[in-house]
Every structure is written in C-alpha cells, then in structure tokens.
Structure 1
Amino acid sequence: MVSASPLQKLYNTCNEVFDSCSAGIIPSPDNIQKLKAVLDDFKPADVGLSPEMPHFRASVAGETPVIRYIHIHECEKFSIGIFCLPPSGAIPLHNHPGMTVFSKLLFGTLHIKSYDWVVDVAPSTSAVVSPSKSKQPVVQQPEARLAKIKVNSNFTAPCDTSILYPTDGGNMHCFTAVTACAVLDVLGPPYSDSDGRHCQFYFDFPFSNISVDELSLPEGGKEGFAWLQERKKPEDLIVVGELYGDPTAVET
C-alpha cells in the first residue's frame, strides 16, 4: 500500500481536526497537537519549494516586494496555502476573526510581531497620539484599542509551528521577511466576507505615544503593550495569488 504524501496527510488531518469546528470554536488539545505534529515535520521539498525559485528573488531597490500566495485547498472548514516572501517582504498587521491558525516556516528567517486584545480595557475616547513622538497619522475617533504584545522575535527554520487562537496566541500579527521565506498556513475556518470573517488591518502605536487619563495597566508594564487602530488595506501591499502546481495534490 502506497503511503499518503505529506500534503495529502496534511489535508486528511485538517479534515479530521476541523470537522466539528466553526468560527470561534477551537479544536481539542489532542487535535491541536495532532495537526501541529504533521506541520512540524513538513519540509520545503514536500511542496516543491526552494529559496532559489523566482518567487523569492529580492526586489529591485525602491520597489515594493511582491508576495505570492500559493492556494492549495479551501473549503468552509479550513484552508491550506503558502506565502512566499522575498527578502524584506512584509504582511502588515492583520487579524484572524474567530479563527485558529497554524503557521509553519518552511525556510528562511522571519520576524513575527503579534498582539492579543486586552479585553478588560475599553477603547479609549480620549487617546491622542503625540505628533512629536510618532510619524504615523494622528489617531481619530473611534479611538485605538489596547493590546498586549504576544511575540516580537525572529524565527529561523527549522522551528516549531506557531499557533494562534481566536482570542489568544497573537490573533493580530505581522510578518517581515529577514531573508527569503516560505510560510505554510492553515486557517480554520478560512476568511469569509459573507460570514463576517474579513481581514482587518491595523496601525500599531507604542503605548507611550498615547496618553489616557486614569488608565491602570495590566501586569507587564507599558513596554508589553501597544495601541491598535483599524486602517484600510495598505496600498503598497502586493499579494499575487496562484494555484498550487499540481491540482491533484490532495484527494478531497
């Protein structure tokens, strides 16, 4: 009997793990570990990628790096795809509403910064960005929301799969490629505008750039917090989608 390919094994595991899940419903701890174990073993060769491919060539000086998204599979329960980031390529700060997300860095060095909302602090109605401390646009009402920094580090492959949850683990994150990178992403459930799960982008402001009267910080001190403000999709974000080279890579 021929064993399933790594990609087929990933699809089969996702199908099992997300079968009884929906927006905001997290797979069981056993299922989380089962899917993580499959992704932890993934290699670039399993999906036919290498840093020498045109997808990962450095951009010409002054040009915005083009990010490619290779679509492998999507259904109402989950999606599988790969982000290909050339050096300095960046996916700005964005959210994953009601979703559990697994990200496996296949190769390269990637900087990840992520946040979770501080739920017991209401959005400020009096927060003001100090123009002398920030070159970003002044925050307008409705005001920014307090978030706690979950991750702010470089990761170099091979490394463990990162997992974020609907309200924990760094649900809002941004990626910046230190070197050429490939990131295998599994989302459960996937984005869906019709179901209200649309991708929202954010500005992030250092905590000290916004003054709020009578705000008592949670544990960790001001260095562990920031203010996030919704923004439109950045105009300089260029993501080109393409289908995985073998449309029969997974049997559904």
Structure 2
Amino acid sequence: MDIKDEKKSAMEIVNVPPLVSTYRQAMETFDPRNSANLPVNLGKLKTMMDGLRQEHFGFDQTLNDPATWTRKHKAPCTYIEVYQDPQVNMSIFVLRPGFKMPLHDHPHMHGLLKVISGAVQIRSFSEYPLTQNIDPAKFELLAKEEAKRLASGSPKKRTLFAEISKNTVCAENSQTCLLTPTLSNYHEIQALDTPAAFFDILSPPYDTLIEEIGPRRCSYYTVSEEIATNVVQLTEDEMPDCFYCDQAPYLGPTLH
C-alpha cells in the first residue's frame, strides 16, 4: 500500500458513522465463531454504545414533542427497526411520557440498552439465586419442558424468585445497560415526564427458532409477592392490553 492508499484508508476509518461502527462491532460480537471472545467483544460494543446520541440515528424530532403523544389513536410506544437478521436485532423504542413498558424476559439472550432521548426508570431483576452461566443444553431442556407445558394447554403460570439487580434512572448521558442470560434478564422500563427513546441490541432476537421447539418467545410477569428487601416472586402473566406499538421508519445511515 502506497502513501496515498494509506491516507485514503485512514480517512475512510475516520469518516465511518458511529452507528455503522457499532453495527460492525455487534456483528463481530455475536458471530458464533467468536463465542470464545464474547466478554471482550461485549465490552467493546458497550463502550461504542456509550457514545451514541440521537443525531447518530437520524432521529425524528417530532417524537420528542409531547404534543405528538396526545394525538388521537397514537400508540403509547413507537418501534423503529434499525436492523435484524437471525443473529442480531437492533431497534429503537420511543415511549410516551409516563408510559411503562411491562416487565418481560429475554430468554437466553444478551442485550444492551442505551437511552438516546429523555430519561427512563429501569428496574431489572436476576433470577434468584443467581448463577453466572446457563449451560445451553440445560436451557434447551428447560425450553422443551416449557413448550410441552404450553402445548398441553396447562393454565399454570411460571413463577420464580428474583433479586432486584438495578433500579435507576438512565438519561442520554448515562452509560449503556447490559443484560445477560442470567444477569438483569427481566426488566421494566418507564419514561419519566417527557417522551423517552432508547436504542437496544438483542442477540439472539425474539422469534429466533430454538431447534425442535419453535420461536423464542417473550413472556410477561408481575411482582406477585415481596419476599425480602431485595427479593421478590415473579409470576408469568398475559401481555397487558395497554402495551402496543406503532412503527416509524429508520432514518439513519445505511448499515454495512
């Protein structure tokens, strides 16, 4: 490579939009061939997401206007798909002032959440007692048992003990929140007194097929009992009727 080519290559790196760099790191992080380097790559991805701001997404400023959310028939949540393939989902959720995204799980997923507009209260739970890792084979067995239970028409809801792992306000200048298959895998998110938007990355995405089981499903929960100061019992519940979304187009840079 001659000097001219080196300068061109350096200029291309400098001019890569932050969201494109984040996308590329996400693809590397969650590539199954790189599973041995997941902790290191996950740290790099989190650092990149820490620096993201709403202008990096071409964010529609009308969604920051409280008047938008008082329009007749406006859904309480707007969903913007940034990117999805069988391995990674990247999206933006925008919540109307005061709206709470109900408590839900992320079955055997890693996830990162970065607030890009407004502020949200996030309360996260980890199954108690906490185990640092879940063997994929054990997860598959549990998922098959759950699929069998659902197929039988059993009305019994799943219950579990969970420890509150996070209960904090996150704003545009806050660091990225992280969840793993065991840590903070259940959470609820509430906008404060203004509209709020957050960007998140999940891997694998919801609806990804679990072999011999079917689509990866999202379950909703309620806190059914306070067990101790920081430990609760969660009970599976139906998706609340108040939780529904409309959609808006992604207006940011092309990801490649």
What TM-score does the superposition give when structure 1 sets the normalisation length?
0.76
Contact 1:56/1:85 (CA < 8 Å) preserved in 2?
no
Contact 2:77/2:245 (CA < 8 Å) preserved in 1?
yes
Q: 1:177 to 1:142 in 2, by over 3 A?
A: closer
> Hey, what's the Cα distance between the residues in 1 that align with 2:122 and 2:72?
23
Name the SS of the counterpart of 1:28 in structure 2.
helix
Is residue 2:62 matched to residue 1:53? yes
Which residue of 66, 89, 101 maps to 2:76?
Answer: 66
Q: 1:10 to 1:104 in 2, by over 3 A?
A: same
Higher-helix-fraction structure:
2
- What are the within-5 Å matches in structure 2 for residues 6-85 of structure 1? 6-20=18-32, 28-49=38-59, 52-54=61-63, 56-57=65-66, 59-60=69-70, 66-85=76-95
> Hey, what's the Cα distance between the residues in 1 that align with 2:104 and 2:20?
29
Higher mean C-alpha deviation, range 74-83 or range 148-157: 148-157
> Hey, what's the Cα distance between the residues in 2 that align with 1:225 and 1:188?
27
Which residue of 102, 111, 129 maps to 1:101?
Answer: 111
Contact 1:56/1:84 (CA < 8 Å) preserved in 2?
no
> Hey, what's the Cα distance between the residues in 1 that align with 2:158 and 2:87?
34
Name the SS of the counterpart of 1:228 in structure 2.
strand
**1:173 match:** 187
Is residue 2:230 matched to residue 1:224? yes
Name the SS of the counterpart of 1:151 in structure 2.
strand
Q: 1:44 to 1:171 in 2, by over 3 A?
A: same
Is residue 2:167 matched to residue 1:152? yes
Q: After superposition, what is the alpha-carbon deviation per residue over 1:181-226, rounded to whole angstroms, capped at 9, x for unaligned?
A: 1101000111116334211100113415xxxxxxxxxxxxx11011
Contact 1:73/1:79 (CA < 8 Å) preserved in 2?
yes
Partner amino acid, structure 2, of 1:160: Q
Q: 1:62 to 1:151 in 2, by over 3 A?
A: farther
> Hey, what's the Cα distance between the residues in 1 that align with 2:222 and 2:157?
13
Which residue of 186, 199, 206 maps to 2:201?
Answer: 186
- What are the within-5 Å matches in structure 2 for residues 84-123 of structure 1? 84-119=94-129
Partner amino acid, structure 1, of 2:218: C
> Hey, what's the Cα distance between the residues in 1 that align with 2:90 and 2:166?
23
The share of aligned pairs that are identical, in percent, is 26
> Hey, what's the Cα distance between the residues in 2 that align with 1:186 and 1:192?
15
**1:203 match:** 222
Partner amino acid, structure 1, of 2:179: L
> Hey, what's the Cα distance between the residues in 1 that align with 2:74 and 2:187?
20
Name the SS of the counterpart of 2:111 in structure 1.
strand
Q: 1:249 to 1:62 in 2, by over 3 A?
A: closer
Partner amino acid, structure 2, of 1:96: H
Question: How many residue pairs were aligned?
Answer: 214
Name the SS of the counterpart of 1:87 in structure 2.
coil
Structure 1 alignment gaps of length 5 or more = 121-139, 209-221
**RMSD between superposed Cα atoms in Å:** 2.6
